[in-house]
């Protein structure tokens, strides 16, 4: 899971830097979608390790919101 998280973060950084450097923001929903997936993975890991009284209960609905907004942006 650690490798997947690192790859997702690197992809978010690459797409974001590309948009800032080239001023082409047509790819901006992609980093949002990847960030939502990253937050979902973090939420599942928190939920599994610490149970119901953890930040996982905050991260999972937040990831659904971010992914939903990113999908509506396409």
**pLDDT at site 39:** 93
| Of 2, 56, 62, 17, nearest in space to 37 by CA | 62
Question: Which residues, 6 or more positions from 46, have their beta carbon under 8 angstroms from its beta carbon?
Answer: 54, 55, 56, 59
Q: Rounded CA gap, 40 and 45, in Å?
A: 9
Mean pLDDT over each residue of the chain, to the nearest integer: 89
Residue 22 banded pLDDT, cuts 50, 70, 90 = very high
**pLDDT at site 53:** 79
Instruction: Note the pLDDT tens digit of each residue in 35-69.
Output: 999 999 999 998 888 877 778 888 989 999 999 99
Q: Is the pLDDT of residue 11 over 90?
A: yes
């Amino acid at each position: 899971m650690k490798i997947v998280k690192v790859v997702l973060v690197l992809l978010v950084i690459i797409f974001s830097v590309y948009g800032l450097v080239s001023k082409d923001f047509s790819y901006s929903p992609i980093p949002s979608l990847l960030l939502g997936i990253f937050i979902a993975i973090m939420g599942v890991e928190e939920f599994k390790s610490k149970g119901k009284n953890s930040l996982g209960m905050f991260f999972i609905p937040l990831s659904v919101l971010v992914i939903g907004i990113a999908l509506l942006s396409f």
